[in-house]
Every structure is written in structure tokens, then in C-alpha cells.
Chain A
């Protein structure tokens, strides 16, 4: 299975600012996924990112708020824009390798 390096592991940000989260994969993968986990909740899929095309966003998530880049088959970024305290969550990236899904260690974001 693939190994993911996710950065940063945590951050505290001021409201109104933006944070970019990076995921680097040790293998070339077609699809990458971004999830949000709000405190005490399950994981919610934000979007699916394919290399060379626009990300596909799930209902309730928009590109202006969560722009995603996927410049190559091993790297992706998720930006949380114009943050508010409601954006305080853990953000995780994931890739699929065959039928096996691997998750990054997550970014714990606190917006103050």
C-alpha cells in the first residue's frame, strides 16, 4: 500500500486567513480524496482530486472555500480559505491503491 506524508500535523490560525495542507504520496496514484472530521464526528468527504482535471466536490463543499490542486500523481494540496471557527476540524487526505485505502495522519486545525 502507499505511504502518505501530510503536512502540517496541526496549526492554529486566525479567522479570515487561509491554510494550505499538503499530501505527498510515495507512489503514483490516480485518485486522491480529502476528508474533514469535525470534533466528535465521522469523516466527511470534501472532494475527489484527479490529476489533470478539476476536483469533484461533494454536496455542501465548494471550490472557493476549499480549492484543491493536483499537479502530479504523487501530490495534492487542500486550502481552507477565509477560515472561521467552524472550520476547526481534522483534515485528512487519502489514496486508493487497488482496493486498499491509505490515510494521511491528518491536520488538526484550530481557528481562533
Chain B
């Protein structure tokens, strides 16, 4: 079963707006990672947040982590058409090194 569960499954917004995706997981983690996948292409690592961190920024990306709620969010600000892709969270379970992916959020940015 997937460790990360994402919400929403699909999101469509206008260019320039912000996009927020949420991820929940079930067990204790070492860290949580977010990935992007453009249609039919490979995975691109976006950001990693450790279990002792609460917030992390990278360019237009902002990730939060609430270990008490076992949840994380990814915020993309000032969205662009090139942000159209599927986004996956992948918690790294404590005591294991394998990545187990959520079902992903399919983000569409409309011009």
C-alpha cells in the first residue's frame, strides 16, 4: 500500500495563481521528499524536508511538514505553464530507505 496519500488528485488553476498540494502518511519518517514528473518523462527531485524541519523553501516552492499530524504540503507560488506536471510525495520510512510514493496530484496550469 502507498505510504503517501495526496490531496487533491487533480488541480487546475490559472497561470500566476498559487497551487497547494497536500500529503498524508502513516508511519514515522526520516524525511519526506517531493518529486515532479512531466508527462511521459522521468522523475525530478524537487525538495527534501527532514523530520526535524517544519518548513523549507526552494525558489517558488515551499514545503511544510507536521510530524504530529503526519502531513506535508507543497506550495508552488506564481505558477507557470511549465509547472504543469504530476507531483508526488514520498515519505522515507524510519528504519527503511525505500521511497514509497503517494498517488500524486496532477497539476494543470491554464494560460
Q: List residues of A whose CB falls within 8 A of some B CB.
A: 31, 33, 35, 41-45, 48, 59, 92, 94, 96, 99-106, 108
Contacts of A101 in B (CB 8 A): 33, 45, 90, 99
What CA separation (Å) do A46 and B12 show in the bound complex? 31
The number of inter-chain residue pairs (CB within 8 angstroms) is 44
Whether the Cβ atoms of A96 and B2 lie closer than 8 Å is no
Which B residues from 1 to 42 make CB contacts under 8 A with A? 1-2, 30-31, 33, 40, 42
Which single residue of chain A is at the shortest CB-CB distance from B42?
A105
Contacts of B102 in A (CB 8 A): 42
Whether the Cβ atoms of B103 and A41 lie closer than 8 Å is yes
Q: How many chain B residues touch the partner (CB < 8 A)?
A: 21
Task: Tell me how far the C-beta of B98 lies from the nearest C-beta in chain A, rounded to whole angstroms.
Answer: 6
Whether the Cβ atoms of A33 and B104 lie closer than 8 Å is no
Task: Tell me how far the C-beta of B89 lies from the nearest C-beta in chain A, rounded to whole angstroms.
Answer: 10
Contacts A99-B92, A101-B33 given; does A45 touch B99 at CB 8 Å: yes
**Does B81 count as interface, using CB distance less than 8 angstroms?**
no
Whether the Cβ atoms of B45 and A92 lie closer than 8 Å is no
Q: Supply 21 A–B pairs (Cβ within 8 Å), ascending by A.
A: A31-B97, A31-B98, A33-B99, A41-B103, A42-B88, A42-B101, A42-B102, A42-B103, A43-B88, A44-B2, A45-B99, A92-B42, A94-B99, A96-B97, A100-B48, A101-B33, A101-B90, A102-B45, A103-B42, A106-B42, A108-B40
Whether the Cβ atoms of B43 and A92 lie closer than 8 Å is yes
**Residue of A45, A99, A103 touching B100 (CB-CB under 8 A):** A45
Q: Apart from A42-B104, A94-B99, what 9 extra A-B contacts exist at CB < 8 Å?
A: A33-B99, A42-B2, A45-B100, A45-B101, A99-B92, A101-B90, A101-B99, A103-B42, A104-B42
Pick the most buried of B30, B99, B103: most chain A CB atoms within 10 A of its CB.
Answer: B99
Whether the Cβ atoms of B31 and A45 lie closer than 8 Å is no
What CA separation (Å) do A104 and B97 show in the bound complex? 17
What CA separation (Å) do A24 and B11 show in the bound complex? 36
Contacts of B45 in A (CB 8 A): 100-102
